[in-house]
Structure 1
């Protein structure tokens, strides 16, 4: 197994890389700036240059990777094309190249509430709308996939149990990025995670559950 990580230098992506390295899984991290990436990512990660808006660069960068964990996301700014380009078009390019390269499983980090068009976050250039379009593209692609929809992302970790629900069941809550990374990586290994959308938050009062029970409780899409 070798994992390819677009969005590797982002706040969630770097934690996915760290989790993969912790599990001794070879990692290819897609980056646009090598110097910045070397400062952020563990030395065990192989850095490859590329851009999700340049499919030919993706084809070369993926190389012999067998699984793909996508943690890209438009950054809040005044560029109204950002969510369309990054969250939809970039993901679409990754899906297309993943099919060409025979990627065995595609994990996409999305967001809670993508099905709610009138959600306040869509005031940021329809970011949830475009994430939802990317989800639908993956679902129709024929690739094996897991779509991970986390609640509000926190940089600080906590010890609260993970709550996992099927699509459009959770509408509030938060989760540390470290746990989003753990769920994303675990989805590679759990057959019960395949071809499912999972929504995740953490709750202090929730019962602890095994990965098998968490993913096994989710209905197929």
Structure 2
């Protein structure tokens, strides 16, 4: 069973990822938490956790880890300094630590629009930070998948999506469906070394991700 470190495990999307992995026969989740008081959530779920902060040293968090899902993020609503510290510098630090630890795959939760941050003045700093982290991952030599969803909602997931390397349209997608896409991306042959965008759509998640992997 592969051990999966979830960075941003206590966030809305990260928690959904943990729930899916906790019911998996192939993967064992390890929640990366920033504060001691967050451990109770994962103790109650019988999920292992490790204490680490993206703004400090993180190498110890990768011990014994096979793959990483990076689902941490400032959400674009925090100040510039925090956004750069988490979405850019924190992600880059985690990518470097993962490479050092020889992890088999790094799955990054990015954001639609990260390829052209200047087109969205409201979120330019956030998308720019995501872009730099994505570029660093692509150049790292690690096997990777970069998922760029549209606007995230808390609606119930329908497991129906529209995926493409570039969708050329705006839209929404539920955190449930994004969590499933992140978990499916852990499978070695699927969307390997690919960057893709995701919105809610009409194709099943499984079929859509297999089609994109061809």
Q: Same fold (TM over 0.5)?
A: yes
Per the alignment, do residues 215 and 76 of structure 1 end up closer, same or farther by CA in structure 2, a change over 3 Å counting?
Answer: closer
Work out the CA distance in 1 between the residues paired with 2:179 and 2:44. 15
Deviates more, 1:19-28 or 1:126-135: 19-28
Alpha-carbon spacing, 1:219–1:29, altered in 2? closer, same or farther (3 Å): closer
CA 1:11/1:40 → structure 2, altered by over 3 Å: closer, same or farther? farther
> How much has 1:145 moved relative to structure 2?
0.2
The match for 1:198 is 196
What is the TM-score normalised by the length of structure 2? Answer: 0.90
Tell me if structure 1 keeps the 8 A contact 2:117–2:123: no
2:73 is the alignment partner of 1:73: yes
Q: CA deviation at 1:181?
A: 0.7
Q: How does 1:58-97 map to 2 (within 5 A)?
A: 58-77=58-77, 79-97=79-97
Q: For 1:2-21, what aligned pairs fall within 5 Å after superposition?
A: 2-21=3-22
Point out the more displaced range, 169-178 or 94-103: 169-178
Taking only aligned residues, the RMSD between alpha carbons, in angstroms, comes to 2.1
Q: CA deviation at 1:160?
A: 5.8
Q: How does 1:18-33 map to 2 (within 5 A)?
A: 18-24=19-25, 25-33=27-35
Q: Which position in structure 2 is the counterpart of 1:127?
A: 126
Deviation by residue 1:142-184 (Cα, 9 ceiling, x = unmatched): 0000001111101121426111111x32431111101111010
Paired position in structure 2 for 1:35: 37
- 1:125/1:215 Cα in 2 relative to 1: closer, same or farther (>3 Å)? closer
Bigger strand fraction: 2
Runs of 4+ with deviation above 4 angstroms: 75-78
Give structure 2 stretches of 5+ with no counterpart.
Answer: none
When the two structures are aligned, how many residues end up with a matched partner? 212
The superposition leaves residues 31-53 of structure 1 with CA deviations (integer Å, 9 ceiling, x where unpaired) of 01232342377522111100112
> In structure 1, the residue corresponding to 2:199 is in which secondary structure?
strand
Q: Partner of 2:212 in structure 1?
A: 218
In the superposition, relative to structure 1, how do residues 88 and 129 fare at CA in structure 2: closer, same or farther (>3 Å)? same
Whole-angstrom CA distance in 2 between matches of 1:210 and 1:32: 31
How big is the shift at 1:27? 1.4
Q: What's the secondary structure of 1:12's corresponding residue?
A: helix
Q: Go from structure 1 to structure 2 and tell me whether the alpha carbon gap of 1:177 and 1:153 turns closer, same or farther (over 3 Å shift).
A: same
The answer to whether the 8 Å contact 1:34/1:47 transfers is: no
Helix, strand or coil at the partner of 2:185:
helix
